[in-house]
Amino acid sequence: KNEVEQSPQNLTAQEGEFITINCSYSVGISALHWLQQHPGGGIVSLFMLSSGKKKHGRLIATINIQEKHSSLHITASHPRDSAVYICAPRAQKLVFGQGTRLTINP
């Protein structure tokens, strides 16, 4: 069973493009994390949100609890944004999506 679905699974874009990654989940949650994982690296928590919208620099995360959907947006994308982005809704524990592999070409 897939409790968390992310789309797209892979995304390649040119530098400067606006990026959107979507996450739909079926579990009841108290919060949702967006995480970033670089190749060979650990995981960095970008956002934790339970309602509405959060912004940090060029990153924006939104969540609609009723629709069980969240999105991560990157404005003015840059090659250093290339990484795997993981959606992780939190019930008692985190449930991870499969991740979206983002590649930004210069």
Give contact residues for another protein (rule: CB under 8 A): 4, 30-31, 33, 35, 41-45, 48, 50, 86, 90, 92-99
Question: Which residue's CB is nearer to another protein, number 13 or number 43?
Answer: 43
Q: At its nearest, how many Å lie between another protein and the CB of residue 7?
A: 14
Residue 14 or 50: the one with the smaller Cβ distance to another protein is 50
- Residue (40 or 57) nearer to another protein, CB: 40
Alpha carbon distance 44, 34 (integer Å): 9
Specify the residue, 19 or 35, whose C-beta has the smaller distance to another protein: 35
Separation CA 77–CA 52 (nearest Å): 23
* Least Å from the CB of residue 98 to another protein: 5
Nearest approach, Cβ of residue 17 and another protein (Å):
24
In whole angstroms, how close is the CB of 65 to another protein at the nearest point?
A: 12
Do residues 20 and 73 touch, judged by C-beta distance below 8 A?
Answer: yes
How open is the CA angle 34-53-83, to the nearest 5 degrees?
30
Q: CA 68: distance to chain centroid? A: 14
- Interatomic CA distance for residues 85 and 81, integer angstroms: 10
